[in-house]
Amino acid sequence: MANDRHHQVCPVWVGYLLASPIRAFFQNPQRILAPYVTLGMSVLEVGPAMGFFTLPLAKLVGPSGRVICVEIQEQMLRALVRRARRANLADRIETRVCDPESLRVGDLALQMDFVLAFAVIHEVGNPARLFKEVQSVLKPRGQVLVAEPKGHVSGPDFRETLAVAAQNGLAKIDSLRIWRSHAAILERV
């Protein structure tokens, strides 16, 4: 995993497939997220695509919580916002366009209770920089769920991802079993 190498981002058309309700039979967002996300929390979602996890996150944080989504593709965010409006959840979701160099979350220092990075780290050119930004927005003892698809990321590559996270202040505290994914819970140290 070299720093700053070019990675292919998920094509927009794949976003429609990823947001399919059929996916929930295999990767149920409620079951995956409920142990970590509760009412009133502030959550950062990195690379939400069209919001497969975003809408369940918004339900879990409730009206007093917030979900901030950072995505490099504006078209994905527009689709996410449409879906959030239809679900009457748009009031607790904020979207931001980021860029390859930064998540653009410097204003969120020490504000997030939880960060979700699901199937996105392998698309990032500089994972160390991303993990440093994630660590900076987390409250003390804040947690991160990192999951990578087994079809794109090998076991050794995922372990290397976790090592990069640890070098940037995010220690693995648990492994998770998620269909066709390598997954772990990390905590800000």
Confidence of residue 121 (pLDDT cuts 50, 70, 90): very high
If you write DSSP's letter for every residue of 142-183 in order, what string do you get?
Answer: EEEEEEEETTTS-HHHHHHHHHHHHHTTEEEEEEEEETTEEE
pLDDT tens readout for residues 71-106: 998 998 999 999 999 999 999 999 999 998 999 999
Q: What percent of the chain has pLDDT over 70?
A: 88
Residue 123, SS3? helix
Domains, the chain, ordered by start: 12-188 (3.40.50.150)
pLDDT tens readout for residues 148-163: 999 999 999 999 999 9
- Per the model's pLDDT, the better-predicted residue between 44 and 13 turns out to be 44
Burial class (CB in 10 A: 0-12, 13-18, 19+), 182: buried
The one-letter amino acid at 38: T
pLDDT value, residue 182: 98
Q: Mean pLDDT, to the nearest integer, of 138-155? A: 96
CA distance 77 to 54: 11
CA distance 167 to 35: 26
pLDDT value, residue 17: 54
Burial class (CB in 10 A: 0-12, 13-18, 19+), 78: middle
Residues 6+ apart with CB under 8 A from 101: 129
Contact criterion met (CB below 8 Å) for 118 and 9 = no
